[in-house]
Structure 1
Amino acid sequence: MATPAATPVTSASRRRQRSTRLTVAVGLLVLSAVLVAAALATGSWALTAAAAVLAVALGAAATRITHAELAQSRRDAARDRAEQAQAYRRMSDDRAAEHAAYVETVERRIAEREASIADLEQGLTAAQQRVADATLKVGAEARRADAADRARADLAADLDAAEERAAEAIVRMAELEQEVDVLRAELEVVTAAWQSAESLRKRA
C-alpha cells in the first residue's frame, strides 16, 4: 500500500505561493538596497536618511513576509504529518481486522478438520472392532466345522460369508486410515500457515 502524502495539486499550489512570497521579500530587500545606494549617490543627507528609513521599513516588511511564510510552512508540514498519521492508523486498523478475520478462519478450519478426524477415528475404531469380531467368528466357525462333520456344508457357507465380511471390513479400515492420514496432513498445513501468520504479526 502506498505511503499517504499530500496531493500533487496541493503541493504545487503551496510551492507557487512560497515562491511568490519569497520573490516579493527578495524584491523588497533589493529595492531597499537600490534606494539607499541612489540616496548615497546624490550626497543629500535628507535623501539618505529617508532612504534608510524606507529601507528599514522594506526590510521589516520582507522579514514579516519571510516569517509568515515560515510559519505557514510549519503549519502545512504539521497538517501533512497529522493526515499521514491518521492514514497510517486507518491502515493499521484495517490490517488488524484482516488478521483477526484470517485467524478466525484458520481456527474454524482447524476445528472442522479436528472434528472430521475425530469422526473418522471413531469409524476406524468401529471397523477395527468389526474386524476383530469377524476374526473371532471365523475362528469359532472353523472350530465348529472341525468338530461337526455332519453340518460341514452349512458351516462352510457361514464361514465363507464371515470371511467375506472380514475382507470388506479390512478394506473399509484401510480406506478410513487413508482418509485420516489425508486430513491429518491438511491439518498440519493449516496449522503451519496459521503459526507463520502469527509469527509475522508478532514481528510486525
Structure 2
Amino acid sequence: MASSPRTTARMTPAQRRRQRSVRLTVASALIAVAAVLTVVAVGTQSVVWLNVAAIGAVVLGGVAARIVYAELVVARRAHQADRTAQAKAYRAITEQRVAEQQEFAGVMTERLASSVRTVRELESTLVLAERRVAESEQKASTAQRRANAAEGAVSELREALEARVAELAAKADEVRAHAEQYADEFAGTEEAALYAQQAETIVDLLAWDERTRGAVTTPAVRKHA
C-alpha cells in the first residue's frame, strides 16, 4: 500500500494529501473493524469468538500501525524532498544574485576606474593650464618691465634731445648776435661779409647736426619701444 519514495517525491502536494487521507481512512477502518469484532465477541461470550476477535484485533491493529508508520515515513521523505527542492531553489537564487552582484560590482569598478582616469586627466590638464598661465604672467611681467625700461629710456632720450636742441638754439642765437654785432661794426668790409658767411655756415651746420641727431634718435626710440 505504501508507494516508493521516488514516486512520492514526484507527486504534487494535492496528490500527497489525497493518498494520506486514503491511508489514514483505511487504518481507521481496520481499527474500527477490530473494535467491532471485539464488541461482538464480548457480546457472544464465546471463547472461540473471543480468540478470533483477539487475533483479528491484533492483526488489524498491526496492519493499521504498519499503514500509519509507512505514512509517517512517506511524509518524512516527502518533507525532506520538499526541503531539498527548496534548498536547491534558494541555492539557485543565491547563485543568481551572487552572479548579478559580481556583474554589478565589475561594472561599478570599471566606472570608478574610468572616473579616476578622467579625474587624473583633468588634474593634469589643470596643472598644465596653471603652468601656462604662470608662464604667460611671467612673460607679461617681463614685457611690462621692458616696456617700462623703454619708456624710461625714451624719456631720457627726449630730455637729452630737448636739452641738446636748446643748447644748439642758444648757440645759434649767440652766433647770430655776434654776427650781427660784427656786421654792424665792420659794415661794408670784406671781413664782415666773410664772417657773416661763416656765421651762416655755422648756423647751417648746427641745424644739420640737430636734424641728424633727431634722425638718429628716432630709430633708437622705436627700437626700445
TM-score (norm 1): 0.67
1:171 corresponds to which residue?
none
Alignment partners' CA distance in 1, 2:138 and 2:222: 20
Q: What's the offset of the Cα at 1:65?
A: 0.7
Match of residue 43 from structure 1:
45
Provide the C-alpha distance between the structure 1 equivalents of 2:222 and 2:103, rounded to a whole number of angstroms: 69
* 4+ residue segments displaced more than 6 Å: none
Structure showing greater relative contact order (alpha-carbon pairs closer than 8 Å, 6 or more residues apart): 1
Give 5+ residue unaligned stretches, structure 2.
Answer: 1-10, 152-220
Q: Which amino acid aligns with 1:58?
A: L
Q: TM-score, normalization: structure 2?
A: 0.61
Q: CA RMSD in A?
A: 1.8
For residue 46 of structure 1, what is the amino acid of its counterpart?
A: V
Identity of aligned residues (%): 40
Question: Who wins on radius of gyration, i.e. which is larger?
Answer: 2
Cα deviations by residue, 1:144-198 (Å, 9 ceiling, x for unpaired)? 112224349x96xxxxxxxxxxxxxxxxxxxxxxxxxxxxxxxxxxxxxxxxxxx
What residue is the counterpart of 1:62 in the other structure? 64
* Residues matched between the structures, number: 146
2:139 aligned with 1:137:
yes
Q: Distance in 1 between matches of 2:26 and 2:119?
A: 80
Q: What residue number does 2:88 align with?
A: 86
Structure 2 residue aligned with 1:97: 99
Q: What does residue 33 of structure 2 align with?
A: 31
Q: Secondary structure at the match of 2:12?
A: helix
Cα distance in 2 between the residues matched to 1:57 and 1:146: 130
- CA distance in 2: counterparts of 1:146 and 1:43, whole angstroms: 146
| Equivalent residue, structure 1, for 2:129 | 127
CA–CA separation in structure 2 for the residues paired with 1:29 and 1:146: 126
Distance, in Å, in 1 between the alignment partners of 2:95 and 2:21 is 39
**Residue number in structure 2 paired with 1:111:** 113
